Amino acid sequence: NAGVTQTPKFQVLKTGQSMTLQCAQDMNHEYMSWYRQDPGMGLRLIHYSVGAGITDQGEVPNGYNVSRSTTEDFPLRLLSAAPSQTSVYFCASSPQGLALDTQYFGPGTRLTVL
Amino acid sequence: AQSVTQLGSHVSVSEGALVLLRCNYSSSVPPYLFWYVQYPNQGLQLLLKYTSAATLVKGINGFEAEFKKSETSFHLTKPSAHMSDAAEYFCAVSGLTGNQFYFGTGTSLTVIP
């Protein structure tokens, strides 16, 4: 099993550009989530999904869109990048809900917005 | 909202010494609590979790944590630090609805040879 994979590893954008961060898992997990990690702030939940076709907002959803068309994939879209979105982004999956179960994290995407 | 507070953003211990990383939570009901570890340039991995069973929870790599409701604490300990324990440690709590998750700000552990 590859676990949770994320692409790209690094990305530099200009303000206003759009892009999609990819996340895939091969563990048949129902739950997937996106976090951003900023210095001194820990990780904050952006969006999560409890299954294909079902998504919901986390703590810091503004500026990000998600969709979940398959169990395996959970892309994160930035429609118009802003410097405040410079961060490291982690995708995670878990067999059951966030409350009870282990989350398995991808290696992260380091995004810089100029 | 649920939250966790990690006291000390940086902790240094000598190799072989006790590791104590502090975490306090705010919650009106006993929550589910977690400790995750992040090694440099990697994602996070679960160390241990408390889900209202035994109050003393044992995790991987010799770490353990004790849930103390009276102190609203969930401190992480390890009797003897190894060089390989150098990493960033995050305490986390789940939301009451079960689908929200809140991390602390993290504690960076340095192990001095």
Query: Got the DSSP string for A28-46?
Result: --SEEEEEEEETTTEEEEE
Per-residue pLDDT at A22? 98
> Chain A, 1-60: which have a CB under 8 Å from a chain B CB?
4, 31, 33, 35, 40-45, 48, 50, 56, 58-59
Question: A40, B98: Cβ pair inside 8 Å?
Answer: no
B51 touches chain A (CB under 8 A): yes
C-alpha distances out from residue B59 to A16, A70, B50, B66, B76, Å: 44, 33, 10, 11, 10
CA separation for the pair A91, A7 (Å, rounded): 10
From first to last of the 113 residues of chain B, give the pLDDT tens digit.
678 899 999 999 999 999 999 999 987 666 789 999 999 888 899 999 988 778 899 999 999 999 998 899 999 999 999 999 999 999 998 876 667 888 999 999 999 99
Interface residue B89 vs chain A (CB under 8 A)? no
User: B44 — contact with chain A (CB < 8 Å)?
Assistant: yes
Is residue B74 a contact partner of residue B8, using CB atoms and an 8 Å limit? Answer: no
Q: Measured between CA atoms, how close is A105 to chain B, in angstroms?
A: 5
Tokens of B21: 């990383």
Q: What digits encode the pLDDT tens for the residues A6-54? A: 999 999 999 999 999 999 999 999 999 999 999 888 899 999 999 999 9
Cβ distance of A98 and B99 shorter than 8 Å: yes
